[in-house]
Structure 1
């Protein structure tokens, strides 16, 4: 495999590509790694109602947004020639496997015949170039169509690298394939919803925890738990009193966390994120971790695809590293 197409790339011209992060020279070449697969029986036809984790990228702004998402989990960039049927089929194979991963991976598909500026930035010259991005760092996978089984095995290696780098967040589905009727809620999710309607956050939280224990990849349960936690924390708080306390004690971690919670609840999302990122920048290691965990919870509450979350996640990475 040729890895120079991305592992050693530099931006070519200060035009549209100036918005694309420069690639990292030390990126690992996944094609040289063995073992590991993504769960699944192979690239089957899309079933009605299956969540899709494919985003089609057409410009550099979209590329930048998706690249920032690699700070929460692996993003797989597939740069292909739309006129090449074999390359298009290879992207469909990737899409099938990535959909089976249940949000642990995100596919960013780029038709390089329509978006040549992105192809130039990646130095992608073949009909299909596939690169994993983890935490903003690219890892070349392959630069020509490969058998579906090999693509599946390489995706397994991407997940192993993500685990080692603690990039284990999950992505929201981009869309749903087919016209299937909405599935009924599972018993635990229904129990959580009923408890929320009754105003019992404790019962709702316990139901979501059980759902996560039964299915660790249950993204809806994780988001539900984060939102229940937020409701529980703010239900007895007074915004004016909380703001006054935070202003008088800028280094009081709990006071700052409380105002951030209230701001998110009141729709002042960017204010909440900026408050916590500033707190991380001036805190010791233990406090940084506490605030980071709360911030990640609030990211779940707002939604991983929200532009405010994408921007704040990038700012968080800069504050931590």
Structure 2
């Protein structure tokens, strides 16, 4: 996973706001704030503290980022396990907790498609990740494997001193894309994802290219001609609208399908909408608004 996620934007944002930022800390037992760089096993992260508490710290100590939200029930199962393990790790690693609702740009930087999402950071770079709830035994094995692999990389060098190697596979896929070989580029991106399921850069490239190819294959007249009860036609119309830079209209089209259908048709429409959300920054106002409309349509 190393090199697959671009965290530079978060670093730049933190630098711009450093003077005004106040590092939040998780209260320790007795109500006293935990020290931000000393023995604290768990720290709360914001966009302003991401650079110091995650990137810089990860040059000296493995940082495990827990992406969570208050409404996420699986998060409430996983987070206490991670917190307990961090507290008993003897300083081998630190848990950095990120509320994705309060810090959407961090979630975007990690291309979080679902939560809980847990990402291990070493020497300023993501090295491994998983989604969903795992047992304490599974997490311990995951951590042991990571620490065995990256222990030597935690040298104390500044994170921005790391030279990011160019992935020749991504380069080859991009060359095909620039040459107009869209099918070949997509096949390359998919092959990378198959070999490395957590390679978010390749996954994002594949997802975007899949959408463009699918949308371009539709007859644009379907926007006007799609029958209200034809789910496939309505989804195709939404693709055409989105490709034409009309995301709000495209999303509303699918949300209307969700409202009017049930069972497999509703699931298919909801799944497609969530896939389209992934093409955008989750903090985009039209994405936030569409998520609210979807929740209303479902419940």
TM-score (norm: length of structure 1): 0.51
Q: 2:90 & 2:35 partners in 1: Cα distance?
A: 15
Corresponding position: 1:51 with 2:7: yes
Deviations 1:124-157 (A, max 9, x none): xxxxxxxx635378737469x94555996989xx
Match of 2:67 in 1: 106
Deviations 1:272-312 (A, max 9, x none): 11211221121121112222222222122223343332333
Query: Matched residue of 2:164: which SS?
Result: coil
Query: Matched residue of 2:35: which SS?
Result: helix
Which is bigger in relative contact order (C-alpha 8 A, separation at least 6)? 1
Query: Matched residue of 2:261: which SS?
Result: coil
Query: Matched residue of 1:291: which SS?
Result: helix
Corresponding position: 1:271 with 2:232: no
Match of 1:135 in 2: 72
Query: Matched residue of 1:301: which SS?
Result: coil
Query: Matched residue of 2:70: which SS?
Result: strand
Q: 2:163 & 2:287 partners in 1: Cα distance?
A: 27
Q: 2:284 & 2:117 partners in 1: Cα distance?
A: 14
**Equivalent of 1:243 in 223, 232, 257:** 223
Q: 1:187 & 1:93 partners in 2: Cα distance?
A: 28
Contact 1:259 1:272 in 2 (8 A): yes
Match of 2:176 in 1: 195
Contact 1:260 1:276 in 2 (8 A): yes
TM-score (norm: length of structure 2): 0.54
Match of 2:259 in 1: 281
Query: By how many angstroms is 1:245 displaced?
Result: 1.3
Contact 1:260 1:275 in 2 (8 A): yes
**Equivalent of 2:277 in 299, 312, 318:** 299
Corresponding position: 1:205 with 2:186: yes
Contact 2:216 2:240 in 1 (8 A): no
Q: 1:267 & 1:185 partners in 2: Cα distance?
A: 31
Contact 1:263 1:271 in 2 (8 A): yes
Contact 1:260 1:273 in 2 (8 A): yes
Q: 1:133 & 1:151 partners in 2: Cα distance?
A: 27
Corresponding position: 1:223 with 2:204: yes
Query: Matched residue of 1:106: which SS?
Result: strand
Task: Show structure 2 runs of 5+ residues with no match.
Answer: 15-23, 44-52, 97-112, 126-157
Task: Show structure 1 runs of 5+ residues with no match.
Answer: 1-38, 40-46, 57-76, 108-131, 156-165
Structure 2 vs 1, CA of residues 50 and 279 (structure 1 numbering), >3 Å: closer, same or farther? closer
Query: By how many angstroms is 1:188 displaced?
Result: 2.5
Contact 1:50 1:178 in 2 (8 A): no
Query: Matched residue of 1:86: which SS?
Result: coil
Q: How does 1:1-321 map to 2 (within 5 A)?
A: 51=7, 79=26, 84=33, 86-87=35-36, 89=38, 90=40, 91=43, 92=53, 96=58, 105-106=66-67, 133=70, 135=72, 139=76, 141=80, 146-147=87-88, 167-168=114-115, 178-180=159-161, 183-239=164-220, 241-246=221-226, 249-321=227-299
Query: By how many angstroms is 1:178 displaced?
Result: 4.5
Query: By how many angstroms is 1:183 displaced?
Result: 3.3
